[in-house]
Structure 1
């Protein structure tokens, strides 16, 4: 375990016995109880949670509306609003699936999980330089990671939770499924694991501010896009394998997709690399656009500080 991880994490449950942690323990207990329900019941409850969020959290609804209007201009206003609402339903189900990922064994869902393109990952690992799984923030984020452990061994890069107890539960759960849950800032640990020919889940599809970015199109909208993926691939020689996971809408089940490694990556051109990464993620999002985290301000950082804020409501 890296020095950085030791300094910011405490995953021993015995450290969280003080009464101030009891409300969080109650939440964790409720998550555990709900994770024992049949999957179909959880999907129904998740849709209900999503509908409540759609109605009661106008700020997040507004962000999703802006994102979908920018990214799907070909849709009518009615179709855009329907997609916003369905997005909340899908992400509500995703909230329920967090409990499944943390507290249920993935073997329980093996029969309803289908993996596609695993040979792409296997051939990439044969080269011996490790693999970055180019993921995205889909609503199946945690459960998809749990299910993929049925087929491969992998590590994960994660942004630690602000609540230390929830972070302890999340980290321990992920490390039972994955190998190591690396802090998202632990670049040294990431490169070390790649050197050991490990597979590491890695996502770049959020707005991380103005540092270390270029503005590359995402759904034809300039989006602040980090260049770290190119730097990591350049330093390690790893393959970058696109990876996604979705809930099956027509039946009770899940699909996991691996694709051929990005070609000519890194190319030496940060903008070209970021454009390729964004296009790759966009193609996966289009499979099930409602299962993406549209509530995030993906276009918060603008090419010029003087550019208008997409998310500011008119006065």
Structure 2
């Protein structure tokens, strides 16, 4: 979808088959009006319940941590795992706030580091490719970045029209519009129109348009080459940006200096560069990263699954 095709409420959205989605949205709105102290404890409760119920995700996260941090003790990795699910619970709260809070209220809980990097780039023509990653704060990150430099998000539309309506409009409260993740032409167009475009190349998207390069302790992690492809769009600059949740609530929006001399034209070297920046960001708060996805599900031909 583009800004010309943002979803509108339609009569059939209120059909009984969508009542479950309306209930979910109602719960999210109700969460957003709770005091922050109540939100904090509710988030912890959701996260700890999730850890008990989502056994397969716990196994995946535990395996990812063992693969990425073999130098840490089992106890240290378990602490990160526990924090990961606590932050999953807080992500439910953060999503509700990001979608329903007013700009004034949301702005009050955001600190920013590195705003000068955006301001400097905006003195010259060109788009900005925002290289980010799947922290649990991604919904809050989108809202926070949009406070200072409204941009374009890349996302996967939801099949339920009610949830899709609120997802789309929640993510564009302080931003411009969203583009489907497979719509490369619209992503390139957004960069050519000098937009900031959010892009997260940290998942395993399969063998297509990917190379196997190191990620933390794993020497062969499938890493997409799309970052380098998009960086070739004329006058495009790359910024690493993400948001970290503060212990007492709220967020710190972090904007790193532009990535220079990129791409160099070698797919593996360019992928290594991006993975290096992603690793540095995750290392600041590994418990806030989404370890629940199978980051190493794709293997070079002939190699057994790591899961």
TM-score, normalised to structure 1's length? 0.92
Matches within 5 A, 1:21-100: 21-100=18-97
Q: 1:270 to 1:237 in 2, by over 3 A?
A: farther
RMSD: 1.7
Determine which of 251, 254, 257 is the counterpart of 2:251. Answer: 254
1:309 — aligned with what?
305
> Deviations for 1:60-112, whole angstroms, at most 9, x for unmatched residues?
00000001111111211112112111110111111121111111123213233
CA contact (8 A) 2:244 2:288 kept: yes
Unaligned ranges ≥5, structure 2: none
Partners of 1:11 and 1:171 within 8 A in 2: no
Instruction: Kindly indicate whether the alpha-carbon contact (under 8 Å) linking 2:155 and 2:179 is maintained by their aligned counterparts in 1.
Output: yes
1:215 to 212, 215, 233: 212
TM-score (norm 2): 0.95
Q: Distance in 1 between matches of 2:234 and 2:296?
A: 30
1:268 equivalent in structure 2: 265
Give distance in 2, aligned partners of 1:280 and 1:131: 16
Q: Secondary structure at the match of 1:281?
A: helix
- The answer to whether the Cα contact below 8 Å between 1:131 and 1:194 also exists between their aligned partners in 2 is yes
SS in 2 for 1:257: strand
Query: How many residues get paired?
Result: 306
Matched, 1:282 2:247: no
Note the C-alpha offset of 1:193: 1.5
Distance 1:172 1:219, change over 3 A: same
- Aligned mate of 2:119, from 122, 131, 150: 122
Please state if 1:242 is matched with 2:240: yes
Is it true that 1:158 corresponds to 2:155 in the alignment? yes
CA shift at 1:165, angstroms?
2.0
Question: SS at 2:148's partner residue?
Answer: coil
4+ runs deviating over 6 angstroms:
none
> SS in structure 2 opposite 1:181?
strand
SS of equivalent to 1:171:
helix
In the aligned structure 2, how far is the partner of 1:268 from the partner of 1:133? Answer: 20
Task: Map residues 159-174 of structure 1 onto 2, 5 A cutoff.
Answer: 159-174=156-171
Q: Once the two structures are superposed, what CA deviation does each residue of 1:95-150 show, in whole Å capped at 9, x if it has no partner? A: 12111111112321323321111111222233312001111111111012112222
Q: Which residue does 2:144 correspond to in 1?
A: 147
Cα deviation digits, residues 20-46 of structure 1 (max 9, x gap): 111111111111111111122212111
Is 1:224 aligned with 2:222? yes
Change (3 A) 1:210 1:119: same
Asked if the contact 1:129–1:194 (Cα under 8 Å) also holds between the matched residues in 2, the reply is yes
Whole-angstrom CA distance in 2 between matches of 1:49 and 1:108: 23
Quote the residue 2:294 is aligned against: 297
- In the TM superposition, residue 236 of structure 1 has moved relative to its aligned partner by 3.3
Answer yes or no: is the 8 Å Cα contact 1:155–1:178 preserved in 2.
yes
Question: Which of 289-298 and 73-82 deviates more?
Answer: 73-82
- Structure 1 residues without counterparts, runs of 5 or longer: none
Structure 1 position 244, deviation (Å): 1.0
- Separation (CA, whole Å) in 1 of partners of 2:60 and 2:159: 22
